[in-house]
Amino acid sequence: MTANGMDSLREELVLGMGNPLLDIIAFGDQQFLDKYGMKPNDAILAEDKHLPMYDEMIKKFKVEYVAGGACQNTLRLAQWILGKPRVCVFMGCIGKDSFGSILEQKANESGVITRYMYHDIQPTGTCAVVVTDHNRSLCANLAAANCFKIAHIKKEENWSFVKNASYYYLTSFFLTVSPDSMLEVARHACAFDKTVFLNLSAPFLVQFFKEPMMQVLPYVDILFGNEHEAETFSKEHCFGTNDLREVALKIAALEKVNKNRNRMVVITQGPDNVIVAIDGKITEYEVPVLQSNRIVDTNGAGDAFTGGFMAMFIQKKSIDVCVKCGIYEIGRAHV
C-alpha cells in the first residue's frame, strides 16, 4: 500500500447488499403531497393509495431517475469520490421491467458493478422523492426489493464477489428482507479478518427488528447512525442515558466476534458535531454551518456522509480524513 492507498484501490474491493430502488425525483408542491397524504421531510412505505403517484409524477413533473435505495446510494457516492470504476459491487433484487432496466443502467453508469437478482413477477422497487422548498418527502414501494434470497449470494458466480471483497457495507433496511444473507456475509468477513460496516438506517428498525440486528452487530467493525437512531438504540437496550457520547461508547463496547480491532461507532447529528467512539474514547468533529438559502433539499444526507467516509477509509486514510470527507459530501450533495 502506498501512502495514498491508490495502488490497492482494486476492482470489487467493496460489496454492498440492500434494497435497490429507482428514485424518481421531482420538484413538487404541497397540493401533490396533500393528495397522497404525505408530509414534508417524511419517509413512508407505500400503501395501495400511493401506487398511482409514481406514474403521475412522471406525467406531471420533470423527473430525474437515480439508482437509489440507501445502500446503493452510498456505494454510488463512494464510487464517484474514488474516481475509479468497478471498485464497488452491489447486490439486491429488482423486477424484469422498464424501471429495472433504468435502475441497472443508472447504477452501471455510476461505476458500480451490479449483481441483481431478477424477480419474474414483482416490479422493480421505486421511491418517490418529492422536493418542496428545502424539504423532501419519500414514499418507497419496495416490491421486488423485498424478494431477495440468500440462494442468490450462494451461487458460485456471485459468491466469488463476496470472497473477493475486503469491505462490506450493509444497511439495517435489509434486515426486513434477508437477515440470513447479512449474517452469511458478515461471518465470512469475520473469518477472514475483513471489515464490516453497518448503518442503523432508521429508528423503527432499531425498535422492531432488534433481534436480527443484534445477531449481525457482533460482526460489525464500524457502525453508523444518526441521533434519532442512537437515542432509540439506547432506549431499546436500557442504557439509561440520552447522552450520545455515552451511547456511542456503550454500543462500541457491545460483544464483538473479531477481536483483532475494536468497534468504531459514528453518530451524526445534522448540523451538530459528528461523534466518533473508538478504543473507549470520544472525538467530536464540527459540522460547518450551511446557509439555508444554499440548501436544495435534504435527501440522502446520511448516504452522502457514509459514502464519503467509506471512500477514504478503504484507502487507509486517517479517521479525521474519513469524517471530514463525509461532512464535506453532505454539504456538496445539497447545494
| 166 SS3 class | coil
Phi-psi region of 224 (alpha: psi -120 to 50; beta: other; left: phi over 0): beta
Q: Render 100-154 in DSSP notation, one character per residue.
A: HHHHHHHHHHTT-EE--EEESSSPPPEEEEEEETTEEEEEEE-GGGGG--HHHHH
Q: Does the reported pTM lie above 0.75?
A: yes
| 29 SS3 class | coil
Ordered per-residue pLDDT tens for the chain, 335 residues: 334 444 479 999 999 999 999 999 999 999 999 999 998 877 788 999 999 999 999 999 999 999 999 999 999 999 999 999 999 999 999 999 999 999 999 999 999 999 999 999 999 999 999 998 878 888 999 999 999 999 999 999 999 999 999 999 999 999 999 999 999 999 999 999 999 999 999 899 999 999 999 999 999 999 999 999 999 999 999 999 999 999 999 999 999 999 999 999 999 998 899 999 999 999 999 998 765 544 443 446 789 999 999 999 999 999 999 999 999 988 765 44
Distant-in-sequence, close-in-space partners of 326: CB < 8 Å, separation ≥ 6: 274, 304, 305, 306, 307, 308, 309, 312
The pair phi, psi for residue 17, each rounded to 5°, is -130, 135
Task: Provide the greatest CA pair distance for the chain.
Answer: 56
Residue with cell 453497518: 198
| 94 SS3 class | strand
The full length of the chain comes to: 335
pLDDT at residue 2, as a whole number? 38
Whole-angstrom Cα distance, residue 42 to residue 45?
10
Identified catalytic residue from 133, 279, 303, 320? 303
Is 303 a catalytic site residue? yes
pLDDT at residue 290, as a whole number? 64
Q: Is 236 exposed, middle or buried (0-12, 13-18, 19+ CB in 10 A)?
A: middle
Distant-in-sequence, close-in-space partners of 148: CB < 8 Å, separation ≥ 6: 17, 19, 91, 92, 93, 117, 174, 177, 178, 181
Q: Is 191 exposed, middle or buried (0-12, 13-18, 19+ CB in 10 A)?
A: exposed
**The three cell numbers locating residue 273:** 458535531
